[in-house]
Amino acid sequence: MSEKTIPYKIYLEEHEMPRQWYNVRADMKQKPAPLLNPETMQPITLDELSKVFCRELAKQELDDTTAYFDIPEEIWNFYRMYRPAPLVRAYCLEEKLQTPAHIYYKFEGNNTSGSHKLNSAIAQAYYAKKEGLKGVTTETGAGQWGTALSMACSYLDLDCQVYMVKCSYEQKPFRREVMRTYGAQVTPSPSMTTEIGRKINEEFPGTTGSLGCAISEAVEAATSQEGYRYVLGSVLSQVLLHQSIIGLETKAALDKYGVKADMIIGCAGGGSNLGGFVSPFAGEMLRGEADYKLIAVEPSSCPSLTRGKYAYDFCDTGMICPLQKMYTLGSGFIPSSSHSGGLRYHGMSTIVSELYHQGLMEARSVEQTAVFEAAQTFARVEGILPAPESSHAIKVAIDEAMKCKETGESKNIVFCLTGTGYFDMYAYQKFNDGVMGDYIPSDEEICKALAKLPNV
């Protein structure tokens, strides 16, 4: 199909929006390793997992054979408020780079949460409501997940308790206010409201918290209150299942215009957008139907895929969550205080980890200032100010487009623009002022953290 016929933005019609989520595990011959109960170190059972998660979500978490799950009508109707999300042809970026490559991006930032997180937030809130719960608890680092969950809970009239990493709580007061506007109760973590919070505050007076610690607090809060369950915005297989709508829509939009993607690029923190985005493409690869180059992009400051170990590890600081086999830097690894809070996690989704381990996916690590340079270039021509996390994917998309310029190839590069940077202007200010640094952990640091992996 001639290039001219492809619009700037490919919108699917409502009736073209997927009616089912896709579970890529069903097509994997070698499945991700099972989650382990931290108390018994044995594969966790549905009953055990249902103490932490809603039963329906626990089922989704453990099901690695069902390929498609119907999207409940209520969730689908909610999706209609902001989906289908556009697939944008980055004509302006292509022109700026003078590249023969064709660049596309799936824009997931067009909702108040500002990111793709809402796709799973509404699903998790829905199942909680359906189970008759009073509310849910969660943690948030950068704030995108907390914002999305607050919004979903507000819509369903469900109580929402968010443990926000203390440094974010203080540095991002406006994120906090968005959550409050949606009626959520936001507590800086570590707090004095949980046992583990009090313990950490005692051990490390003045600590500004971490994601792993906030997870522990949120899980404790969920399990100690009647009618509450814990929900999580990334890492889990249920989250990737919900986020598969990103990839399914992208594939449908490309198919609509007869475009065959050569590369699928996503940023990787816990793996939520990346896993959902690549799922249908990885599925085709697993079924031998097509071939794609899948690229995970992580920050050089927190390089779990490129420098971590594939092993069982804890997901949280308090070691009360199930263990999972994943690429990890060790749950004791403290990433530097980069401006991509959403990518500061020591581990990685088991699905993404296994796809990477099987060689179906590549991984690259990129430095912070180079990421912001890419973000600025993109913003100035494409008119969207991207989140720092999303900009990791932009950086590699630009790198690949520049390679095409050298070789003269017109490859189709598709990446996921997970969100907007409206709440990240402090980071942009550092970049604008030329005082942004890069941080790459030393081998010693990583070895030290990896030495403490549990012996499973």
Residues at the site binding a second copy, with contacts judged by CB under 8 A: 7-9, 11, 13-14, 80-82, 88, 92, 110-114, 118, 151, 154-155, 173-174, 177-178, 180-183, 376, 379-385, 420, 422-423, 425-426, 428-429, 431-432
Question: What's the closest the beta carbon of residue 60 comes to a second copy, in angstroms?
Answer: 24
Q: Tell me the closest approach of the beta carbon of residue 311 to a second copy, in angstroms.
A: 40
CA dist 21 → 52, 268, 416 (Å):
23, 20, 18
Rounded Cα gap, residues 193 and 203, in angstroms = 16
CB contact at 8 A, 64 and 32: yes
- For the chain, what is the radius of gyration of the CA atoms? 20
Cβ neighbors of 252 (< 8 A, separation 6 or more) are 12, 16, 18
Q: What gap in Å lies between CA 226 and CA 96, rounded to an integer?
A: 56
Tokens 């912001």, located at residue: 372
* Least CB distance to a second copy at residue 175 (A): 8
State in angstroms the smallest separation of the CB of 157 from a second copy: 9
Closest distance of CB 11 from a second copy, Å: 5
Q: Between β-strands 309-313 and 228-230, what pairing exists: parallel, antiparallel or unpaired?
A: unpaired
- Give the residue with the Cβ less far from a second copy, 282 or 427: 427
Comparison of 123 and 321: residue with beta carbon closer to a second copy: 123
Cβ closer to a second copy: 206 or 383?
383
Closest approach, Cβ 9 to a second copy, in A, equals 8
- Cβ neighbours, 10 Å, residue 202: 10
Residue by residue, DSSP assigns 63-108 as --S--EEEPPHHHHHHHTTT-SPPEEE-HHHHHHHT-SSEEEEEE-
